[in-house]
Structure 1
Amino acid sequence: MSSFSGLSTALSSLNAQRQALEVSGQNVANANTVGYTRQRADMTSTAAQSAPSLFSGSGTAAGSGLRISSVARLGDVFLDARVRSETGSASFAATRAEVYARLESTVAEPSDLGVSHALSTFWASWQDVGNSPDSAPSRAVLLESATALAERISSGYGAIATQWTQARTELTTALDDVNTTADGVALLNQQIRGVLTSGGSANELVDQRNVLVTSLSRLVGATATERQDGTMDVMLGGNALVRGDVSHAISIVDGSARTLETADAGVRLQWQGTGTPLGTASGQVMGLVSALAGADDGGILARAARSYDDTAQTLMGTVNAVHKDSFTRGLGGAPGVAGGDVFTTGGSPAAKYLKVALVDGAQFAVSARPDAPLDGSRADAMARLQTADGGLDEKSLPTVRGADTTWSSFVVRLGVEARGADQRAVVSESTRATAEKLQLSGASVDIDEESVNMLAYQRAYEGAARVLTAIDEMLDTLINRTGVVGR
């Protein structure tokens, strides 16, 4: 081997150590970059050049230095896949828990602002009128409590309708994010394939793509598979959201549940290009879709709205039935007349348009007979509707189901479901956080480790420079000083 080969060996070390130092510097620079995966310069020693020739030596020769074979990205595809899976599940559970939390704040039970308190005040007002049928103030209070109850039910239903509209707007925004992110993944696939084909390193582009794919997992529970050419297929419900450099958009089916009143069939999603229904079970989008489903399909908001409507119809039906069977207090010796409707509704659903039909407290009928102006027995019968639960009375006869029972059943069910949703969200988030910690333990940058690596590369660089200097001095002696001894 030529004496000059030592220079090439030392130079290869200088280049390799410098490159490795640059990789460590890149790691340190991106220590706080979200989604960045640490890199490592893989060094490979190069074999000695051996070619038979007339003047080749008979002894063994050392290698010809080293080279950087690759800059490895220290990510774990299995941990990445686990993080995506857990992210989709956690996002789905968190979205449903948030919907329940907003709904509970709207229902406001138990509190003075809830329907239960308005119902209790309404029944107590009937008791007061029953005790003093000739009291104008008591009748005025009853009229006011009836009005407040109707307004509370109507405003509660309106709040759910507002939440439903807000959730649908969030769904539309989330779908826009899905389509935009899928386009970004397709573009990165194209760039990564081009860089790898030309022999370059696309580690930073892969990191950017992984961040986008994880975002798709959070939004729609997407899964991903990497192909041999470096591109990544993103799958959704068995269909490709992104394949190579082509993405496929998702949209809401035209006319699908535009308002709460038309939400019986719920909101439906489709592949925009083919119109095929979208099948997936996790992510923020599906959490919103489940909340916006029809009441018969378990839709959170539609079921709550139906409970408001059931309460309104039960209240209107039971109160009006007792009131029509009672008589008003006759004035000036005239007999009383049969009572009319206390509550009425101007449209459907009843909860949205519920209002009081009476305009004066004197119109309340509390007497069992038209000729008994001081009789308040029917007010007592009205007040007993508070405890009507649809069971049997003391004579084993079936009784009606009162508005209080209907409402309390809804409140209990809502509380149980909200608590369960919150617990599932906490558990899912804990599982996701654990998976993320495992992923980061191998992929995140350790400043101390990189500092040690930089010191090692620096010392190796200095050593290679010293070798280069020593060989240069030897060659100087060989070239410029050989044959001049003794002159």
Structure 2
Amino acid sequence: MGSSFGGINTALTSLYAQRRGLDVAGQNIANANTEGYTRQRVNMNSQVGSLSAAMYARTDGLGTGVAVTAVQRLRDEYLENRGRSEHAASSYLSSQSTAYVAIEDTFAEPGDTALAAQLRDMWGSWNDVANNPQLAAPRSALIQQSSTVADQLNGAHEALARQWKQNETQMSAYVDEINTTARSVAQLNDSIVKASASGLTVNELQDQRDVLAMRLAELTGATAAKRENGGLDVFIGGQTLVSGTLVRDVEFVGASRLEDQGVDPVRLQWVDIKQPAQAGGRVGSAIDTMTTIIPNLSDDLDSVAKNLVDSVNAKHANGFSADGSTGLNFFSGTTAGTIKVLIKDPDKVAVSATAGTRDNSVADAIADIGDSATGPDREYQGMIGRLGVASQGSARRAEIQAVVTEQVDAAREGEAGVNLDEEMTNLLTYQRGYEAASRVLTTIDSMLDQLINRTGLVGR
């Protein structure tokens, strides 16, 4: 049979348990707007008396109260891994889309001041020269307009080079952040493993670590896996970045200019083994922009410039100018960054096919280059068309991925986020439980007072 004092312990354990529940509900409410916080729940189990087998053992079948077995962190690891994966993909696509938008702004097509319009005006200037071969004014206007085209090509190349350099600068900041964040994850691993081994609750530390792991996923497409001892390993491209308390550093190496990219491609690599780290996320997007997108566009722009130089010079060198000069090139350079107008004197502009005549055949033939199916205009239009298609496709993929990421985040929030209505209900539940346990304790106290102080007083 149970002791008369046994009910005190039962009520007392309830007081402890309900108060712990109130504390946890208050912690959830306090952190309802804290980034990365995971709601917690008190797990309670009923305590039972000794059931050890013995010949004369007896039990009344009643328990001995309640015990808080754990403060559970309500986070779904599958959803967390999925969230890291989707955030990595979203970061990659959104960064790539942003890069394409910046490149499109560089060319500003279509527009009255863009390169396509300037090319049309230049061919129009050649037509004006062909219509008035004896006048110097159209030739002066032609030189000025041709210089504008050359400056446009120079400016487009320089703008691409600046964007490449900006990506390089950003990559240096990304590398510093990756290494710093990885060390923070390792430090939290150390604290979590030690605290868990001591039986302490580490929910808040795990929340901080998950926020850092998500940031690494956005930066590099990193994945993560938990250890049995509570530690978290982080991987980039299947290779270990963080293993328990050990951290491997990464570095950004390669060309420092767009012009050198083909010789020494930029890359993210492991410091210890000097091998490339296959990163995704923002870093992967920046590397792809620096190694593929911008260099390819720069090559296409160089091809347009070379086409312009070769097609005009081929006809101009065979013509005769007003002062009888021949064999002169109109443009110099072979790339968008080096193209220049060589002719500065209007009388040096080749107009005629034969010396000493006023025919306009050379000027007219050069003007027709603008309508050629293989001319620089068509080539440039094709380049801008491909850029537009790629940019639009990137933007659409980024939008679709953003929707997927939002859906996954909503599922994560539904599992781990704090619902204030639910927490208020829990507060009331634990409050009523605490009050009831207090009432039980008061009732037992009254019964014991009757037993101890008033029993056996009859006849005195």
Q: Compute the TM-score of the two structures, normalised by the length of structure 2.
A: 0.96
* Distance (Å, rounded) in 1 between the aligned partners of 2:281 and 2:58: 69
1:423 aligns with 2:396: yes
Question: SS of the residue aligned with 1:471?
Answer: helix
Q: Determine if contact 1:96/1:421 at 8 Å carries over to the other structure.
A: yes
- Which residue does 1:271 correspond to in 2? 270
- Which residue does 1:69 correspond to in 2? 69
Code of the residue aligned with 1:484 in structure 2: it is L
Q: Determine if contact 1:182/1:242 at 8 Å carries over to the other structure.
A: yes
Code of the residue aligned with 2:316 in structure 1: it is H
- Which residue does 1:41 correspond to in 2? 42
* Per-residue Cα deviation, 1:183-217 (whole angstroms, up to 9, x for no partner): 11111000000110100000000011001001111
Q: Determine if contact 2:81/2:223 at 8 Å carries over to the other structure.
A: yes
- Which residue does 2:209 correspond to in 1? 209
- 1:288-367, aligned counterparts within 5 Å? 288-293=286-291, 299-330=292-323, 336-345=324-333, 350-367=335-352
Question: SS of the residue aligned with 2:63?
Answer: coil
1:285 to 272, 283, 286: 283
* Per-residue Cα deviation, 1:54-99 (whole angstroms, up to 9, x for no partner): 9x99661421110100000000000001001111111111111111
* Per-residue Cα deviation, 1:290-328 (whole angstroms, up to 9, x for no partner): 1111xxxxx000011111211111111111111111111
* Distance (Å, rounded) in 1 between the aligned partners of 2:77 and 2:231: 14
* Distance (Å, rounded) in 2 between the aligned partners of 1:61 and 1:425: 63
Q: Determine if contact 1:328/1:339 at 8 Å carries over to the other structure.
A: no
- Which residue does 1:479 correspond to in 2? 452
1:447 aligns with 2:420: yes
- Which residue does 2:28 correspond to in 1? 27
2:387 to 398, 409, 414: 414
* Distance (Å, rounded) in 1 between the aligned partners of 2:132 and 2:151: 26
Residue 115 of structure 1 and its aligned partner are, at CA, apart by 1.1
Residue 127 of structure 1 and its aligned partner are, at CA, apart by 0.3
Question: SS of the residue aligned with 2:325?
Answer: coil
Change (3 A) 1:52 1:292: closer
Question: SS of the residue aligned with 1:350?
Answer: coil
Structure 1 ranges of 4+ moved more than 3 A: 49-54, 56-59
* Distance (Å, rounded) in 1 between the aligned partners of 2:54 and 2:136: 126
Change (3 A) 1:441 1:20: same
- Which residue does 1:396 correspond to in 2? none
Residue 453 of structure 1 and its aligned partner are, at CA, apart by 0.5
Code of the residue aligned with 1:343 in structure 2: it is F
- 1:460-471, aligned counterparts within 5 Å? 460-471=433-444
Code of the residue aligned with 2:314 in structure 1: it is A
- Which residue does 1:152 correspond to in 2? 152
* Distance (Å, rounded) in 2 between the aligned partners of 1:388 and 1:257: 37
- 1:182-261, aligned counterparts within 5 Å? 182-253=182-253, 256-261=254-259
Q: State the identity %.
A: 39
Change (3 A) 1:52 1:139: closer
Residue 53 of structure 1 and its aligned partner are, at CA, apart by 10
- Which residue does 2:6 correspond to in 1? 5
* Per-residue Cα deviation, 1:347-369 (whole angstroms, up to 9, x for no partner): xx621122111112222111121
2:356 to 341, 364, 371: 371
Residue 52 of structure 1 and its aligned partner are, at CA, apart by 9.2
Question: SS of the residue aligned with 1:171?
Answer: helix
- Which residue does 2:79 correspond to in 1? 79
Residue 110 of structure 1 and its aligned partner are, at CA, apart by 0.8
- 1:22-171, aligned counterparts within 5 Å? 22-49=23-50, 60-171=60-171
Q: Determine if contact 2:319/2:352 at 8 Å carries over to the other structure.
A: yes
* Distance (Å, rounded) in 2 between the aligned partners of 1:15 and 1:402: 85
Question: SS of the residue aligned with 1:200?
Answer: coil
Q: 5+ residue gaps in structure 2? A: none
* Distance (Å, rounded) in 1 between the aligned partners of 2:178 and 2:381: 40
- Which residue does 1:387 correspond to in 2? 371
Code of the residue aligned with 1:243 in structure 2: it is S
Code of the residue aligned with 1:65 in structure 2: it is G
Question: SS of the residue aligned with 2:43?
Answer: strand
Q: Determine if contact 2:325/2:348 at 8 Å carries over to the other structure.
A: no
Q: Determine if contact 1:49/1:63 at 8 Å carries over to the other structure.
A: no
Q: Determine if contact 1:44/1:67 at 8 Å carries over to the other structure.
A: yes
* Distance (Å, rounded) in 2 between the aligned partners of 1:57 and 1:241: 58
* Distance (Å, rounded) in 1 between the aligned partners of 2:380 and 2:221: 36
Q: 5+ residue gaps in structure 1? A: 294-298, 331-335, 390-400
* Distance (Å, rounded) in 1 between the aligned partners of 2:50 and 2:4: 13
Code of the residue aligned with 1:361 in structure 2: it is P
Q: Determine if contact 1:49/1:64 at 8 Å carries over to the other structure.
A: no
Structure 1 vs Structure 2 CA RMSD: 1.7
Question: SS of the residue aligned with 1:65?
Answer: strand
Residue 113 of structure 1 and its aligned partner are, at CA, apart by 2.5
Q: Determine if contact 2:45/2:66 at 8 Å carries over to the other structure.
A: yes
Q: Determine if contact 1:91/1:218 at 8 Å carries over to the other structure.
A: yes
Residue 141 of structure 1 and its aligned partner are, at CA, apart by 1.1
* Per-residue Cα deviation, 1:14-60 (whole angstroms, up to 9, x for no partner): 01000010000000000001111100000111002467999x99661
